[in-house]
Amino acid sequence: MILKIITVVSGFIFISTIIYLLLKRRLNERHSIYWIAGAAVILAISFFPQILNYLSGIIGISYPPTLLFFSSTMIMVFILLHHSIQVTELQDKVRELAQVLAILRLEVGENNGIKSINAVLTKGEAAVTREEAPPC
């Protein structure tokens, strides 16, 4: 009985945390749907543990908690794979933006008579003469 209470309270705390992060714009709406669904599954299993017994019987698993650990492990592996793909895409975008920024800074510097890319400062600052330019 105490375990059921702990899992129900944990599920509600989890849902509350997700809603709080969503309201504070710390969590994307697209990702929050998955987390809320996961919290709903936690609550459903905590209210009705027979669901786990039924599903493990259908699949042929003799020990129901094994199904719980296996499914949660597989979900985490897919989440990690998804995030790895997103990180790779973002790294490519950052590299491309850095290259474009370097080209634009060089073009601005050349238009102002500056030969060193390090001498090209951010927008709004005075152009540096060739003598003041730091070495590359």
Instruction: Determine the Cα–Cα distance for residues 115 and 106; give it in Å rounded to an integer.
Output: 8
pLDDT of 31 reads 80
Does the residue 59 lie in any domain? no
Give this prediction's pTM: 0.65
Q: Residue 38 contacts by C-beta under 8 Å, 6 or more apart in sequence?
A: 14, 75
In this structure, are 44 and 78 located in the same domain?
Answer: no
Give residue-wise pLDDT tens across range 109-135: 778 776 655 555 554 444 444 444 445
How far apart CA 34 and CA 14 sit, in angstroms, is 12
pLDDT digits (tens, 9 = 90+) for 15-71: 999 999 999 999 888 888 888 888 899 889 888 989 999 999 999 999 999 999 999
Statement to judge: residues 2 and 32 lie in one domain = yes
Q: Are residues 74 and 132 in the same domain?
A: yes
- pLDDT one-digit tens code per residue, 66-90: 999 999 999 999 999 999 999 999 9
Domain count, the chain: 2
Give the pLDDT confidence of 4-24 residue by residue, as tens digits: 899 899 989 999 999 999 999
Do 39 and 8 meet the contact criterion of CB atoms below 8 Å apart? no
* Domain match, 27 and 83 both: no
- Whether 55 is in a domain gets the answer no
Q: Is 122 exposed, middle or buried (0-12, 13-18, 19+ CB in 10 A)?
A: exposed
Same domain, 77 and 116: yes
106 located within any domain: yes
Q: Domain range for residue 81?
A: 66-136
For 72-105, b/e burial (b = at least 16 CB within 10 A) is eeeeeeeeeeeeeeeeeeeeeeeeeeeeeeeeeb
Whether 36 and 73 map to the same domain: the answer is no
Residue 113 lies in a domain: yes
